Structure 1
Amino acid sequence: MNLPRKVVDRPIRQVGKRLAMALLVLAATAFIVWIDRDGYNDNAGDGVDLLDSFYYATVTLSTTGYGDITPVSDGARLTNIFVITPLRVLFLIILVGTTLEVLTERTREEWRLNRWRAALRDHTVVVGFGTKGRSAIQTVCATGLKKEQVVVVDPSSRVVDAATAEGYAGVVGDATRSDVLLRAEVQRARQIIIATQRDDTAVLVTLTARQLNRGAKIVAAVREEENAPLLRQSGADAVITSASAAGRLLGLSVLSPSAGMVMEDLIQQGSGLDMVERPVIKAEVGKGVRETGDLVVSVVRGHRVLGYDDPAIGTLQLTDRLITIVRASPATKATPDTRPLPRD
């Protein structure tokens, strides 16, 4: 499980800094001993040279203390008490501090993960962070969903790292496995978006997700239209066929470039025209679809989606929801502009 975090130094860089500090303390200690080398005695009978100074500094700072080189003069002993001993303590703090920081970081991560799991409810799980998954997340977040409420599942650690860098939580693993989806808390998710690269993978993920969460809304994307019924039988509430949708858009652009531009504008969230769903307000109850201030294309009544010209609509009810086309404001992409479009 990867959670978004503030940018800090990489572990290798942190270890490198501490190693440099330790070497600096070692070199300083050896230099101090070498300056006062006449105050030290070597049991081998030779004088204390620069190599002996580094040797003495190493065994002293590491508290090994073989005793073959010892301070004998009063000055050398005072230097050991007031200078080398504090350096030894600093050296140990650097080494022990690295270990303590690693343990503290692990504890902190475990605490963050447990707190995140306890607070996570009614979130959105996105399986696959490719072009489709990324666009789906941007669309739902543009309507008010917080990034903290999105969990990305992908088998690539690099892809999950990219997702966490953008502020989403991430799980590395095969989403066809129930243990991976459980790490994403899919059993408590409100909606699940499946945007895998392969249709057979999408089917298996849908089956697993539906088994773990009976009430979540599952939306899946497939490449081939012939696989869409299989996705619905597996438990998907809605299936988007990417290949046929792209083909229809291509054909529409050939027949009518202007109509193709309008459809592409509707697909792109946050610019030009947007399609949004909103509840019926009290002032609209009892009125016809064309009497509202918005450009209504469909009415959602219960589990049915009725076209704007369907006679079954009659007048609007307070429990209805309207699917409208609005003018998006580039300055406020997170909150779609619901002002009505100009009408003839």
Structure 2
Amino acid sequence: MKLPGRDAMARQPDEHLVTHRVKLPRKMVQRPIQQVGKRLAMALLVLVVTALVVWADGSGYHDSAGGHFGLLDAFYYATVTLSTTGYGDITPVSDSARLTNIFVITPLRVVFLIILVGTTLEVLTERTREEWRLNRWRAALRDHTVVVGFGTKGRSAIQTVCATGLKKEHVVVVDPSSKAVDAAIAEGYAGVIGDATRSDVLRRAEAQRARQIIIATQRDDTAVLVTLTARQINRAAKIVATVREEENAPLLRQSGADAVITSASAAGRLLGLSVLSPAAAMVMEDLIQQGSGLDLAERPVTKAEAGRTVRELDDLVVSVVRGHRVLGFDDPALGTLQLTDRLITIVRATPSTRATMDMRPLPRD
């Protein structure tokens, strides 16, 4: 397989959007322009209320220019008063007007200034607050899951892992498309916009401290380069990758992947099985779909099960993890179960089994 250079890998449809930025999910969905518009409406409301209060007591105000004190004069006085300009051409002269200024106009002036100053301060401090939020996120992120590629495969992988109890706060999505990252953020995941074949992008996702890395890119050559980069910055993480062509699977394993899923050949075998035995294909599809019907679960051997064979257990055991090997249920080398073994079983999918399913990664070969 011919691998293109990293520059060629970076030429994606959304290349102009790739800025290597980290984006965290927000609880507030209101846009900045909506926030400013809302505060401007509040300021105008305060201005109108002030003008009406002044106009209602128009006889208590003196206009140095003379003439009748009308509604326009009330709005003019409210504007210069709330903005603390105070030209002094219109002044309260009666006791009621002065009391109104003390107990009504002055509090309204404070509210008006809070609205305007608060909007300004929020705009000025937005970047600082975002940096502080990112720093706190990075400091707390440990043993998380990094998913490279938020397409159909990446999204399904996240849903499967989260169905076992993994919190969304412990998932970071890396994708060169800002639209894909925005979709991940909308679902509650943190996202990094950038080319995952570059180590600085993976480091922004804190891949060096990740527990497991899922590589679900669209191209096999991209998957190889991402795997090489991820393994270089994190020697201990569990790396699972997917490829389209089966001939590229050995190259991915040599690059550092612990497990490789071949999507094209798997789909082809499922199609062939559907022709030969539709019922068997339905069972396989049921096992693939997380959270419905039958599920695969991994659990440790209990003390009561140690020393027995897999055929003597109540659970339907398909494989046994022993050390660095995965033994089939009919493997002659299996013998009796050991307390350090782990069982791969087929269970009925229920909320309790999904919540308690142990999905610890298999040891590397």
The TM tier, using the shorter chain, reads 0.7 to 0.9
Moved more, 261-270 or 281-290: 281-290
Counterpart residue number, 1:41: 63
Q: How far off is 1:50 after superposition?
A: 4.2
Between 98-107 and 132-141, the greater mean CA deviation after superposition: 98-107
1:42-191 residue pairs with structure 2 within 5 A?
42-43=64-65, 49-67=70-88, 69-71=89-91, 73-74=93-94, 76-77=97-98, 79-102=100-123, 109-191=130-212
Query: TM-score when scaled to structure 2?
Result: 0.81
Equivalent-residue separation in structure 1 for 2:26 and 2:355 (angstroms): 22
Counterpart for residue 322 of structure 1: 343
Return the match for 1:207 from 228, 251, 275.
228
Give the gaps of 5 or more residues in structure 2. Answer: 1-21, 359-365
Q: Deviations over 1:245-284 (max 9, x none)?
A: 1111111101110111111011011222111222222222
Q: Structure 1 residue 2: deviation in Å?
A: 3.5
SS in structure 1 of the partner of residue 304 of structure 2? helix
Q: Distance in 2 between matches of 1:66 and 1:111?
A: 43
Q: Secondary structure at the match of 2:355?
A: coil
CA distance in 2, matches of 1:155, 1:227: 23
Counterpart for residue 308 of structure 2: 287
Counterpart CA distance in 2 for 1:83 and 1:287 is 85
Deviation at 1:104, TM superposition (A): 6.6
CA RMSD of aligned residues (A): 2.8
- Unpaired stretches in structure 1, ≥5 consecutive residues: 338-344
Distance 1:279 1:149 in 2: 24
Is the alpha carbon distance of 1:154 and 1:42 closer, same or farther for their aligned partners in structure 2, counting shifts above 3 Å?
farther
C-alpha distance in structure 1 between counterparts of 2:101 and 2:338, whole Å = 89
Write the distance in 2 (CA, Å) between the matches of 1:15 and 1:256: 62
Higher relative contact order (CA 8 A, sep 6+): 2
**What one-letter code is carried by the residue in structure 1 that aligns with 2:37?**
G
Query: Which residue is 2:252 aligned to?
Result: 231
Letter in 2 for 1:146: K
Query: Distance in 2 between the 1:185 and 1:72 partners?
Result: 64
Note closer, same or farther for the CA distance 1:73–1:281 as it changes in structure 2 (3 Å cut): closer
Q: For residues 271 and 320 of structure 1, what CA distance do their matches in structure 2 show?
A: 27
Match of 1:341 in 2: none
